[in-house]
Each structure stands twice: as structure tokens, then as C-alpha cells.
Amino acid sequence: MSIVKINALTVPAEQREELEKRFSARAGSVENSDGFEWFELLRPVEGTDTYLVYTRWRDEESFQAWMEGPMKAAHQGGGAGGERPKPAASGSTLWSFEVVQQAAPKQG
């Protein structure tokens, strides 16, 4: 079964728009990775300042290969003048899960 990685990002209100812009700018950067199955950026609606970055992978090895390759390269890239932009999130926690059950809408 697949694995799910959820990155819980603490994002101050004044940084929300910046975080979403950065994810939009990276659109397409994970979709061609071997073993990648799904991505969602979840914006909090009320009661929290935590965004959730949900990714689903065929297996742990696929996720680790992406972390050591494209993800690492993306986070090491610099902005104008070679400087990395200040992080939009003030904290981050990675949660890992195995998919043990799933359901989809019934067809017809």
C-alpha cells in the first residue's frame, strides 16, 4: 500500500499569501517524480495557523529519492543575488502514515 507524508507548516497570517505563491511557483515540480501519487496544499479555515502539505507515494523509497533529489535541489536554490528567501513558515513537522484502507466514490 501507499504511504502518506503530511508536512504541518505553522504559517503566520502575514505570510499565508507568500507561502501559497511559492507553492504555485513550484507547480509541476513533484508530479513527474517516480512513485509520486498525489499532492494537496490545505489552507486552514479557522482556529489554527497550520497549513498541511499532503503528499502520497508508492513507497518510502520513492519519497526518499524525491527528498534527496528534486526536493533538496529546490530548497537549496537561491533567490535574486543568490540569497535564499526567508521561509514563509515559522515551524514544520513531518508526519508519516501507511495507507491501510481507502475508499473512492462508487461509479454508476
Pair type for strands 50-57 and 91-98: unpaired
Q: What is the pTM of this model?
A: 0.82
95 vs 27: CA distance, rounded Å: 22
**In whole angstroms, what separates CA 79 from the centre of its chain?**
20
Give the pLDDT confidence score for residue 102 in this predicted structure. Answer: 92
Residue 82 predicted with pLDDT over 60: no
Whether the predicted pLDDT of 66 surpasses 60:
yes
pLDDT at 39 over 60: yes
Query: Who wins on pLDDT, 59 or 29?
Result: 59
Paired strand residues for 94: 7
Residue 57 near residue 35, CB atoms below 8 Å:
yes
pLDDT digits (tens, 9 = 90+) for 7-34: 999 999 999 999 999 999 887 788 989 9
- 64 pLDDT above the threshold of 90: yes
The yes or no reply on domain 3-76+88-98 and CATH 3.30.70.100 is yes
What average pLDDT does this structure show over 2-10?
A: 96
